[in-house]
């Protein structure tokens, strides 16, 4: 079965209780379960991974990225700092969508820059946990109309 990766970076394991005014009260597990189900309905296996460590995220991209059809990534704060995650995504060459729960452009200016965005298919930001549903729709749509399917 074709696979889509769902990668979550630092502090996203705290969803549900973390700054609920910004990130809502839905847990990451609830999001992963829902997106897994929706991916299955679209004919994809979802492989989800969360880590607070930049190196672990990079190693996961190395090991699983090339085998996957597409990647959904909420890199959390690493979005704004990590040239290394950008390079890992470029190294495997798998198309990806950047996701954020909050609207990063309505927040502090240091969140306005992303090291991933210019290499992403697109960016979804500001729709709360529904950003993940939109991200899945976006990557499935992209994969259907391109020859990237693996
Ligand atoms: C985030 C936005 C980032 O700026 C922040 O560091 C996060 C979460 C979001 O989903 O809105 O950890 O990626």
Q: Ligand 1 mean position to 28 CA, how many Å? A: 13
DSSP 94: -
Q: Whose CA is nearest to atom 8 of ligand 1?
A: 76
* Gap between the Cα atoms of 148 and 62, Å rounded: 18
Q: Ligand 1 mean position to 8 CA, how many Å? A: 10
Backbone angles phi, psi at 100, to 5 degrees: -140, 140
In 3D, which of 33, 15, 39, 40 has the Cα closest to residue 25? 15
Side by side, the strands of the sheet bearing 122-125 are 45-50, 3-8, 70-74, 96-100, 122-125
Q: Ligand 1 mean position to 142 CA, how many Å? A: 24
* Gap between the Cα atoms of 128 and 99, Å rounded: 10
Catalytic residue among 44, 78, 100, 132: 100
Q: What is the pLDDT of residue 1?
A: 87
Structure tokens belonging to residue 128: 């709360």
pTM score, whole prediction: 0.96
Determine contact, residues 97/133, Cβ cutoff 8 Å: no
Q: What is the pLDDT of residue 150?
A: 54
Q: What is the pLDDT of residue 147?
A: 65
pLDDT tens sequence across 125-149: 999 999 999 999 999 999 999 965 5
């Amino acid at each position: 079965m074709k696979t889509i990766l769902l990668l979550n970076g630092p502090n996203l394991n705290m969803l549900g209780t973390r700054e609920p005014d910004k990130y809502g009260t839905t847990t990451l597990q609830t999001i992963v379960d829902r997106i897994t189900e929706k991916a299955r309905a679209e004919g994809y296996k979802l492989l989800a991974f969360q880590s607070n460590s930049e190196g672990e995220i990079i190693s996961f991209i190395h090991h699983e990225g090339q085998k996957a059809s597409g990647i959904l990534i909420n890199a959390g704060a690493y979005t704004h700092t990590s040239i290394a995650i950008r390079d890992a995504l470029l190294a495997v060459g798998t198309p990806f969508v950047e996701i954020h729960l909050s609207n990063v452009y309505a927040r502090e200016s240091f969140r306005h820059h992303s090291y991933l965005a210019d290499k992403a298919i697109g960016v979804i930001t500001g729709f709360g946990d529904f950003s993940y549903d939109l991200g899945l729709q976006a990557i499935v749509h992209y994969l259907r109309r391109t020859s990237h399917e693996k």
